[in-house]
Amino acid sequence: MISDKKIEYPVSSGGVVYRHSKGSLEIVLCGRTKSRLWSLPKGTPVIGENLEETAIREVSEETGLEVVIQDKIGVINYSFVNEEKNIQYHKHVHFYLMVKSGGSFEKHDHEFDSVRWFSLEEALRVVTYENEIEVILKAKELIGSESNAKPGQ
């Protein structure tokens, strides 16, 4: 059967913000209480932005934190349909490894009800989207290799 749906290929950018706290690795997740959603911060570029600029802006807006990119984690791809608009989306989300350089959760926008640090283990249990688990695990590998390369961090 041939689909009459319009197909679009949106691109987004986001990040895994991490820190070491009391000997434990922690990452930031954004949550919505009503839908019980926990996810990594991400969003859509504005005209003229590159992927890194989008990631920094979106993570800053959604978390309230000022962040710096350390490395690229990778890209996830997924598809979904908006039946109301009769559009099938094939989305690509680019993720970056980030650290906090300032700001606070109190400054996060209202897209999410809650933003907070999670231990790595807890984040892997509560994150809503399975493909974001893969992103978090890749981030953990990068953090491990960076710690090995740069003692004391």
Q: Taking the model in full, what pTM does it have?
A: 0.89
Backbone angles phi, psi at 120, to 5 degrees: -55, -45
Instruction: Say yes or no to pLDDT of 101 above 60.
Output: yes
Tens digits of per-residue pLDDT, 129-146? 999 999 999 999 999 866
d(CA 82, CA 67) in angstroms, rounded, equals 33
The single-letter DSSP state of residue 70 is E
Band of residue 150 on the pLDDT scale cut at 50, 70, 90:
very low
Band of residue 151 on the pLDDT scale cut at 50, 70, 90:
very low
Average pLDDT, stretch 79-98?
94
